Structure 1
């Protein structure tokens, strides 16, 4: 379980194809604090540490994960948002994030707003995921508040700290991002659908 509060940006050092899977070697400052079999969220995708060497560690994304997330579009040198699993005695500063991506979205526009930025994303409504105004959404692993909620799109306002300390500053119009919708909202929607 995660909170959506990004700890640092990791750099993709190497990508190896292994049958239908990809092994990603990530360079990160907190590598010396990791252990084998630990969960780390990469752009919001929970992956397991399988190897550690100096300031780099390796994770494997299976074919299912590659097909349902934007990880398949990563290249060597790309920066990824990293978060280690939540400590149960720590503050929950973001919201409950599972690290299970529901679907991807496309960055439709980026608007500068006198010291902040508004990013608008569109997603396929056929998967029946929903956002609500002022509700929580996870974009590339970052816990954010929804503004301008629509059936297939939403916007988020990004403060300077988030812009500087995540890969939001590298996003461009047309880029694909990972979305995890609010887990509580998903359960409520499921119960309503069952009772409809």
Structure 2
């Protein structure tokens, strides 16, 4: 689990194709001895498993992760090249501050930036998501975009806007984001389960439960 609070920006330094899987080598400032093999790290919102880690590279640490076909199909990972910068977040530890919202690192789809408007004290981005995900986006609700926990401001059909402060633009990849870019989109966990529960009317659920309990 993650919180959508980016703690480092990594850089892709190498990409290798291994059958249907792509292996990425990431350079970052996390201490190598603090990255366990098998650890989960969110990369632009995508939870990937560390397969190796060592000291070296331009940022102090190099580690590798693998991306399977499903990940490559529905996220921006397939487009990563050497030089691509990605938002990073280590997995949540019990007792850590929950600064954003609960994020699983399971990306639902790619959203597209429709517009960027720099307002001086903040920057407004407008996004478009596939229509089937529109019911999961609500004004004042939370979404994870490229691994960043953001609050939704306005919603219209399958488009919505978010305001980012200068600090967020400075310490994440959002400073370079522009209209036309694709970003990884994950709906809020509560919205996901609320939608699933809504598919089962209370009377039908009670009837099924009673039937299953009958010997």
Larger Cα Rg: Structure 1 or Structure 2? 2
Q: TM-score by structure 1 length?
A: 0.96
Task: Compute the displacement of 1:129 (Å).
Answer: 4.9
Cα deviation 1:99-138 (Å, max 9, x = unaligned)? 0001111110000112210011101113565211000000
Return closer, same or farther for 1:175/1:74 CA change in 2, 3 Å cut-off.
Answer: same
| SS in structure 2 at match of 1:189 | helix
Aligned alpha-carbon RMSD (Å): 1.2
Residues 134, 158 of structure 2: 8 Å contact kept: no
Aligned length: 196
Partner of 1:97: 103
Task: Compute the displacement of 1:30 (Å).
Answer: 0.3
Counterparts in 2 of 1:65-84, with a 5 A limit?
Answer: 65-84=71-90
Residues 113, 180 of structure 2: 8 Å contact kept: yes
Partner of 1:64: 70
Residues of 1 paired with 2:137 and 2:174: CA distance? 20
Match status 1:108 vs 2:114? yes
Match status 1:34 vs 2:40? no
Structure 1 gap ranges (5+): none
Structure 2 gap ranges (5+): 56-60, 203-215
Counterparts in 2 of 1:143-182, with a 5 A limit?
Answer: 143-182=149-188
Partner of 1:43: 44
